């Protein structure tokens, strides 16, 4: 995992953990954030982050966005935190 991906996973985990009570009160849990690498070659490196929200054990929602595409970062840690924060406010 690249440094940017690590920072995004850490930020997402922290924000989701901070909302754990409110999500649990709505019967929701989550999986992730997970990184999926689509292309591993340096010049074409492409990855995305994914968080899956479950309600009553069933799929409720998914947040996913690219972190890298063709070796170029597409998001900053701050922008990812904003996305996680908005998403966890369900």
> Is residue 59 pLDDT above 60, yes or no?
yes
pLDDT at 58: 94
Q: Where are the alpha helices (DSSP H) in 1-90?
A: 3-18, 20-25, 77-88
Full-model pTM: 0.83
Exposure string of 60-84, with b = 16+ CB inside 10 Å and e = fewer, is beebeeebbeeeeeebebeebbebb
pLDDT in tens, 63-88: 899 999 999 999 988 888 877 777 76
> What is the mean pLDDT of the segment spanning 57-64?
91
Tell me, what's the pLDDT at 90?
A: 47
- The tens digit of pLDDT for each residue in 7-41 reads 999 998 998 898 889 889 989 999 999 999 999 99
- Count the neighbouring beta carbons within 10 Å of the beta carbon of residue 59: 10
């Amino acid at each position: 995992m690249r440094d940017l991906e690590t920072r995004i996973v850490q930020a997402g985990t922290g924000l989701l953990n901070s909302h754990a009570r409110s999500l649990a009160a709505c019967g929701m849990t989550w999986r992730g954030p997970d990184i999926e690498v689509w292309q591993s070659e340096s010049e074409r490196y492409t990855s995305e982050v994914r968080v899956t929200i479950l309600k009553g054990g069933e799929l409720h929602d998914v947040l996913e966005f690219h972190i890298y595409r063709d070796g170029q970062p597409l998001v900053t840690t701050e922008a990812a935190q904003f996305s996680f924060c908005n998403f966890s406010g369900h």
